Amino acid sequence: MKLLAIETSCDETAITVLEGTGDTTHADFRILGNALLSQIDIHREFGGVFPAVAKREHAKNIVPMLHASLSNAGLLREETRTLSESEIQTITEILSREPETAAALIAFLSQYAVPDIDVLAVTHGPGLEPALWVGVNFTRALAHAWQKPIVGVNHMEGHLLSALATPNPDDDRAFSLTNITLPVLGLLISGGHTELVLMESWLSYRLVGRTRDDAVGEAFDKAGRMLGLPYPGGPEISARAEKSRAEGRTELPVLPRPMLHDDSCDFSFSGLKTAVRYRIPDLVGDNEMTEEVREILSHAFEDAAGDVLLAKTLRALEATNAQSVALGGGVSANNHIRTIFAQKLAETHPHINLFLPEFRFCTDNAIMIGIAGFFHALQEKYIPAAELRANGNLRLTEHS
């Protein structure tokens, strides 16, 4: 099965052509074509992602990404086509909120033959709704023009399922999903989410725990901003914490580990973020922020955040019959968090299989949307184009 997967939930416009074979016991994937454009440099000026700017950039870049991805896959074949009046009208209507995308898509469709694609997979939530709508409307227009079925993918599901991929050491375009023992406990950690979900059967999820306030990635980003670091704060904090750890710094301010001893599998990160704010004057006094203070607080913050994530995951393991643990989302790129999970689980739960996503699957991408889309298509969970909607608050645990 060849999927064209589209991701526009936040600040990356990404389109991948992914080929999948097999089923849930063993699936092989091959990335045929991949194109991704990050808007991060644009948003950095604002210190965060601005929905209207994200939408504008997606609308501008989505047809070029389609071209790049299909061309990379060798699926772009020039063939002049004259679109009928009604075809042009339907595409214009579907993309009425993105007129520039409609014009670019009509020009594209007039120039290239229908590619050898079986299914369109698109992120329909959660994320920034204006940004999501660009991908959703674009997919609806493509489905109409090419007469292809659509599967809708939850962005967090993409993060979770891509974490389960086993890379092929000889070929970076190939990977498999195999030897996965259910239930899988997923720790989904990103800029908008911090939740523990249990995948008891394929594509069916139960919520085990979640943050009661900030997401952990959001806490990293806000702490980064307090330390005068550029957006996104996660990688900036991580780099400084690593440096401090490598230097063997042990004298660290003790930051709180919120809800560590509470019985639930829920999290809270806003107190940790606030504690960083209160520590800054103690360390800086009347002087300017120094790189040393940044390193100390990054180190203390990352230790505290990692401890809470690990402790709650261990608690969730006790509370469920999970056989595997998978980390997914932007924060799962964090080296310290990956290391403490690998060490602790090997020590205390050697029978549990820990899946850490490849770095390319940690940040937003369309490959993961293709992976999840493949399993949706296997179950024939197609969504009629007219019913497909973007939902900024789409929940993983509501759909099964």
Q: List residues binding ligand KG4 (CB under 6 A).
A: 10, 190-192, 217, 220-221, 232-235, 238, 329-331, 333-334, 363-364
Q: Quickly list DSSP for 2-63.
A: EEEEEE-SSSEEEEEEEEEEE-SSEEEEEEEEEEEEE-HHHHHTTTS--HHHHHHHHHHHHH
Q: Binds 373, which of Zn ion, ligand KG4, none (CB < 5 to 8 A, cut-off by type)?
A: none
Q: Using CA atoms, how far apart are residues 192 and 329, in angstroms rounded to an integer?
A: 9
Least Å distance, CB 328 to ligand KG4, is 8
Closest listed residue to residue 394, CA positions, set 152, 187, 175: 152
Bridge partners (DSSP) listed for residue 31 = 18
Across-strand partners of 196? 187, 209
Contact 123, 158 (CB under 8 A): yes
State how far the Cα of 370 lies from the Cα of 367, in Å rounded to an integer.
Answer: 5
365 lies in the binding site for Zn ion (CB under 5 A):
no
- Residue 232 Cβ, how far from ligand KG4 at the closest point, in Å? 4
- CA torsion 46-48-57-362 (nearest 10°) is 150
Q: From the CB of 190, what's the least distance to Zn ion, in Å?
A: 5
**360 vs 389 by CB, closer to ligand KG4:** 360
Q: Does 214 bind Zn ion (CB under 5 A)?
A: no
Q: Which helix (H) or strand (E) covers residue 90, if one does? A: helix 85-94
Binds 217: which of Zn ion, ligand KG4, none (CB < 5-8 Å by kind): ligand KG4
CB of 217 to ligand KG4, least distance (A): 3
Piece of 20-28, 44-52, 139-147, 363-371 that binds Zn ion (CB under 5 A): 363-371
Q: In what order do the strands lie in the sheet with 2-7?
A: 150-154, 119-125, 2-7, 12-22, 26-38, 174-178, 166-167
* 63 vs 255, beta carbon nearer ligand KG4: 255
> Using the rule CB under 5 A, is 364 a contact of Zn ion?
yes
Side by side, the strands of the sheet bearing 324-328 are 204-210, 194-201, 184-189, 324-328, 353-355
Nearer to Zn ion, 224 or 234 (CB): 234
* Nearer to ligand KG4 among residue 191 and residue 258 (C-beta): 191
Task: Give the total of residues touching Zn ion (CB under 5 A).
Answer: 2
Q: Among 97-105, 183-191, 303-311, 367-375, which window interacts with Zn ion (CB under 5 A)? A: 183-191
Scored b (16 or more CB within 10 A) or e, 76-88 reads: beeeeeeeeeebb
- Measured from each CB, the residue nearest to ligand KG4 is 330
Contact partner, 205, from Zn ion, ligand KG4, none, Cβ < 5-8 Å per class: none
Instruction: Tell me the closest approach of the beta carbon of residue 360 to Zn ion, in angstroms.
Output: 13
Indicate which of ligand KG4, Zn ion, none lies near residue 304 (CB less than 5 to 8 Å, by partner kind).
none
Of residues 296 and 333, the one with the C-beta less far from ligand KG4: 333
Question: Shortest distance, CB of residue 191 to ligand KG4, whole angstroms?
Answer: 3
166 strand-pairing partners: 176
| DSSP symbols for 275-342 | HHHHHHHHHHTTS---HHHHHHHHHHHHHHHHHHHHHHHHHHHHHS---EEEEESGGGG-HHHHHHHH
- For the chain, the C-alpha Rg in angstroms (whole number) is 22
The yes or no reply on residue 39 touching Zn ion (CB under 5 A) is: no
Binding mask 314-343 for Zn ion (x = CB under 5 A): ------------------------------
**CB under 5 A: which stretch of 19-27, 79-87, 203-211, 364-372 binds Zn ion?**
364-372
The answer to whether residue 190 forms part of the interface with Zn ion (CB under 5 A) is yes
Residue 129 binding partner per list Zn ion, ligand KG4, none, with a CB distance cut-off of 5 to 8 Å that depends on partner kind: none
Chain residues in the site for Zn ion (CB under 5 A): 190, 364
